Amino acid sequence: MPHNLDLILTLTSGLGAALAFGYLSQRLRLSPIVGYLLAGVIIGPFTPGFIAHPEIAEQLAEVGVILLMFGVGLHFHVKELTAVRRIAIPGAVVQIAIATLLGVLLTHLFGWTLVQGLVFGLAISVASTVVLLRLLGDHHALHTPAGHIAVGWLLVEDLFTVLVLVMLPILVVQEAGATGAILSIGLALLKIGALIAFTLFFGQRAIPLILNQVAKLRSRELFTLTVLVIALGIAVGAAKLFGASMALGAFLAGMVVGQSEFSTRAASEALPMRDAFAVLFFVSMGMLLDPTQLTSNLGLVAGTLAIILLGKPIAALFVVWALRYPPKIAATVAVSLAQIGEFSFMLAALGRQLHVLPDSATQALVVASIVSIMLNPVFYRLVEPLARILPSRARDTGEPLHVPIVEPEQRTIVVGYGPIGRMVTTLLRENNLVPTVIELNHETVKKLNLEGIHAVYGDASQSEVLEHAGIRNSASLIFAASGSPDAVVRQAHAINPDILILTRTTYLGEIPSLRRAGAQFIVTAEAEVAFAMTAHILKTFGATSDQLDRARDWVRAEVGA
């Protein structure tokens, strides 16, 4: 069978199976990661039926790891971590240490070496960002103090994961003696330091300049291509020129882009490609599961689940409670961390490449991930009972929690800053409403932000852009741009079903579909032209204001606006 056909079959079967099982997982209100892992099991070499090509799937998954780490860097915000540093940093460190120690003790019972136990313990000590954000979002807890602490906690785990991914290949030194090992580690650290310095200092100047030049062309394809080239280019350069991991290079590239004014658009444009390859990463992990070995690995799987579902959350619960935070915050953070996902698989994949972890480790991690993700929403129901049982040690000195809480202001998102968008924004500000403008002209966005008007650069049909503009905390959205509003209206309504959506459109025939998409008030160019002409004729022949009002009401009733 030709190699290129293997590639197409593996890609098609992987994405197709992931689509089917991911859809099923979503329907069951589970994380789609569960579906992707199960898809890998189905098309893997250990189950009957079609078998995808494991080596090709693993190569495609490498791209998924790079883009996942680029996304981690892109969303890494120092301010979020700084706001909750007093709880997130010590809490994450203690919880990781306890989970890793438990992992070492568990694997020791099965005759593993200390190094194998440490790597396995580290893999089960970190939670999935995707799962945690989904869980908190579904329970409207993402923008609460508990949600901010959990996100800050995850940022510490993200940094920790990057550190382990960088240091593990260095520390796993072959037979070179103590002196050789020290020299190898020192040289590797110098190269990594040079990479970080080069990326942060040179990248902060060159990357925004490149993105600025491409953005002026107003080409979505070229901008997306530029973001991907930056992510993959720095990742490959980190490996080839500095001897560092591609994951570190991708993370640094994401950090540089994330700190620029192009971060929102870069995230929205790169997300589809990132998500597609990330899906293949999870599928490739699922392909490693051999169901026939579950019986022989039952003890390891059970012990791993016990650490993830009991050890980690109990450690987190105790730390947050001991630092005198309210019981509900302690319970929320603890329960949300009782799962593993993408970062655990990254560490496990690296462990397999370095021949540190045995095959049984991956078997246990895949099963533990599927089970813990499935149980995580169920465990969240324990938050309130736990909060009632746990004795309160919350601060009674009036000291506020160091967590930024979103003010409940009536915010409006304005899409497009042409003539209509300018007038709408001006009127909103004059009436004490807070507008956020979404615009695809980069120079306009820069000018608005300098004038004190919050503006976001990006395509409003992308959920990432709407989220950055504050769609969840906005009372209304006004589509004032000249293009088709359908995609923007659908995306806004999907994220925030309660938001009031006002939109303009050209043709009367578009009104029914916009109504179904979620728009409540629609202004059409055809109707306004008809009324303007009619009003002028009526005024010419002496029509009164009441007659004009009735004509306007009739036009609106006819078009259903």
What is the 8-class DSSP label of residue 45? T
Model pLDDT, residue 299: 93
Which residue matches tokens 């079959």?
Answer: 9
Rounded CA separation 41/58 (Å): 14
Nearest in space to 195 (alpha carbons), one of 238, 165, 163, 164: 238
Model pLDDT, residue 235: 87
349-408: pLDDT as tens digits: 888 888 899 888 988 999 999 999 888 888 888 888 888 888 776 554 334 444 444 444
Please, which pLDDT band fits residue 483 given cuts at 50, 70 and 90? confident
326-359: pLDDT as tens digits: 888 899 999 999 999 888 888 888 888 888 998 8
Q: DSSP secondary structure string, 294-357?
A: TTTTHHHHHHHHHIIIIIHHHHHHHHHHHTT--HHHHHHHHHHTS---HHHHHHHHHHHHTT-S
Which residue matches tokens 């029509």?
Answer: 543
28-86: pLDDT as tens digits: 888 888 899 999 999 988 888 777 787 888 788 888 888 888 887 887 777 777 777 88
Rounded CA separation 473/488 (Å): 17
SS (H, E, C) 341-383: CHHHHHHHHHHHHCCCCCHHHHHHHHHHHHHHHHHHHHHHHHH
487-499: pLDDT as tens digits: 899 999 988 888 9
Instruction: Work out the number of other CB atoms within 10 angstroms of the CB of residue 88.
Output: 25
What's CA 367's distance to the chain center, in Å?
23
Q: What is the share, in percent, of the chain residues with pLDDT greater than 90?
A: 20
CATH 3.30.70.20 given to domain 55-174+186-389: no
Residues of CATH 3.40.50.720 domain(s) within the chain?
Answer: 411-519
- Write b or e for each residue in 350-385: b if 16 or more Cβ atoms lie within 10 A of its Cβ, otherwise e: bbbeeebbbebbbbbbbbbbbbbbebbbebbeebee
Residues of CATH 1.20.1530.20 domain(s) within the chain?
Answer: 55-174+186-389
Length of the chain (residues): 561
CATH 3.20.20.10 given to domain 411-519: no
Find the radius of gyration of the CA atoms of the chain: 27
Rounded CA separation 334/336 (Å): 6
